[in-house]
């Protein structure tokens, strides 16, 4: 005859405080049934949901990758738009028929013969042509940071803290090809110096020169400000050579001593 009840006895190692539990046959069957159902449920869930979870993770990974690629495309389009804007500004200034010679011809005074300065009837010496005057004396609050061509975090120049209204000087003699306002830079100026050198001055309170103006090295071309997308009064200063951004600290080593930006990787 089968027992109708079972006793479960728990005996500790020290043989003290023994515990016993009295279970009926039905209770044991219910417990066993619940365990079986739980294990079967785990198997079913893992079999059915496992592939779905893996597929979801794979889709999420692909989505993140597509989102990242889309941001890269958006950044490339933004930079292309900026390049087209600069190109348009140059062509509007010089005329659509203007053509630049690939290499300037120089003599003892190292005078540029670029079509730009031919049209403006300007001759520049080599010393006047190179950026050699620091536009403003101040601390560098943000350094050059060019991660790659596929990121919107690139910073092609240095930010130099100024007081609003401080005079901004041109780094070298040249020809103003743009003087106006944009959403990002606020009031900003682009100067062409010949020999494929350009300098950029952004976030000005006020521009003091106009497009097509010729400026001498050290001329006051703007007043320091906080226009455009800016966290405080500063000058955003860039130097470009042959279409490539050059770290201004290469031309102005004194900026190293006044660099208080959080990243000094240049």
Within the chain, which residues score under 50 in pLDDT? Answer: 96-114, 116-124, 264-266
| The predicted structure's pLDDT at residue 178 | 94
For the chain, the structural domain boundaries read 1-7+20-98, 103-257
| The predicted structure's pLDDT at residue 94 | 52
Residues 77-119 pLDDT 10s: 666 666 666 666 555 555 544 444 444 443 444 444 345 444 4
| The predicted structure's pLDDT at residue 91 | 56
Residues 185-214 pLDDT 10s: 999 999 998 888 999 999 999 999 999 999
Token output for 5? 């009840």
103-257: CATH architecture: Distorted Sandwich (2.70)
| The predicted structure's pLDDT at residue 106 | 39
Q: What's the order of all strands across the beta sheet hosting 220-223? A: 167-169, 220-223, 206-207
Task: Report if pTM > 0.85.
Answer: no
pLDDT above 90 coverage of the chain, percent: 38
| The predicted structure's pLDDT at residue 119 | 45
């Amino acid at each position: 005859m089968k027992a109708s009840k079972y006793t479960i006895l728990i005996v500790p190692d020290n043989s003290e405080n023994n515990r016993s539990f009295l279970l009926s046959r039905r209770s044991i069957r219910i417990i066993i049934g619940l365990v079986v159902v739980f294990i079967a449920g785990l198997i079913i869930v893992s079999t059915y949901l496992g592939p779905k979870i893996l597929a979801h993770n794979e889709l999420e990974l692909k989505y993140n990758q597509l989102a990242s690629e889309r941001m890269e495309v958006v950044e490339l389009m933004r930079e292309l738009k900026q390049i087209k804007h600069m190109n348009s500004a140059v062509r509007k200034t010089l005329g659509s028929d203007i053509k630049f010679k690939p290499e300037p011809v120089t003599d003892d005074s190292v005078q540029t013969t670029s079509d730009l300065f031919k049209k403006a009837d300007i001759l520049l010496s080599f010393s006047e042509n190179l950026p050699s005057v620091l536009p403003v004396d101040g601390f560098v609050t943000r350094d050059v940071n060019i991660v790659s061509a596929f990121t919107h975090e690139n910073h092609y120049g240095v930010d130099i803290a100024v007081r609003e209204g401080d005079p901004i000087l041109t780094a070298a003699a040249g020809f103003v090809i743009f003087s106006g306002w944009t959403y990002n830079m606020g009031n900003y100026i682009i100067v062409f110096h010949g020999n494929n050198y350009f300098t950029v001055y952004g976030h000005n309170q006020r521009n003091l020169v106009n497009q097509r103006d010729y400026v001498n090295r050290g001329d006051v071309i703007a007043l320091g400000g906080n226009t455009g997308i800016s966290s405080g009064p500063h000058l955003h200063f860039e130097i470009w050579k042959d279409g490539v951004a050059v770290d201004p600290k290469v031309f102005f080593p004194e900026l190293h001593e006044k660099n208080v930006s959080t990243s000094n990787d240049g």
